[in-house]
């Protein structure tokens, strides 16, 4: 099942990339919106499969609620790296270390295979679910 889902995701991504390439720069704004919708959808899929066991957007579970998470990290590169390998960042960053202690040292598993694009989609999904206007990205 998982495999099929990933295959499907890949297809969607491939289509989006295709669409991006065939349209000219003059329709960039329209493109962006189309892409945003797809990204939120794909972010949601990844989130539900990989993150939702421990995280919700608005509620603390095993891990913290992820609402507004990008504002808690000054350095987005560090945040991306953290999502790929939390332990590595905990070893060198004070905020990550304090978070780890605060959450009773429950380790977040690494997700090394997530690309920057995947993570961006997840963060866009989190943002879409945090805002009052929930449909900003999805409708
Ligand atoms: C097994 C449980 C678990 C899973 C699965 C998990 N996390 Fe976490 N996550 C945690 C815990 C626990 C913390 C709190 C820090 C710690 O203990 O290391 C955390 C912290 C975080 C933080 C930092 C939050 C903040 O307030 O700065 C982010 C971002 C995050 N997780 C994103 C993700 C994403 C994205 C996924 C899916 C790809 C994911 N997590 C999957 C348990 C998990």
Cβ neighbours of residue 129 under 8 Å, at least 6 residues apart? 57, 58, 67
Higher pLDDT: 104 or 129? It is 104
**The token pair that represents 36 in the structure block:** 């945003």
Residue 9 Cα, ligand 1 centroid: separation in angstroms?
23
- pLDDT tens digit sequence for 63-104: 999 999 999 999 999 999 999 999 999 999 999 999 999 999
- pLDDT tens digit sequence for 19-75: 444 444 444 555 555 478 899 999 999 999 999 999 999 999 999 999 999 999 999
Ligand 1, residues at Cβ distance < 6 Å: 50-51, 53-55, 62-64, 66, 69, 72, 83, 86, 99-100, 103, 106-109, 111, 122
Residue 23 Cα, ligand 1 centroid: separation in angstroms?
37
In the block, residue with structure tokens 């390439």: 21
């Amino acid at each position: 099942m998982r495999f099929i889902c990933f295959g499907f995701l890949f297809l969607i991504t491939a289509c989006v990339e295709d669409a991006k390439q065939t349209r000219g720069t003059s329709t960039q704004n329209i493109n962006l919106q189309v892409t945003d919708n797809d990204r939120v959808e794909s972010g949601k899929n990844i989130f539900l499969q990989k993150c939702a066991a421990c995280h919700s957007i608005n509620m603390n579970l095993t891990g913290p609620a992820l609402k507004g998470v990008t504002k808690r990290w000054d350095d987005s590169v560090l945040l991306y790296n953290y999502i790929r390998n939390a332990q590595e960042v905990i070893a060198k960053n004070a905020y990550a270390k304090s978070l780890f202690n605060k959450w009773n040292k429950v380790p977040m598993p690494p997700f090394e295979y997530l690309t920057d694009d995947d993570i961006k989609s997840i963060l866009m999904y989190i943002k879409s679910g945090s805002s009052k206007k929930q449909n900003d990205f999805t409708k």
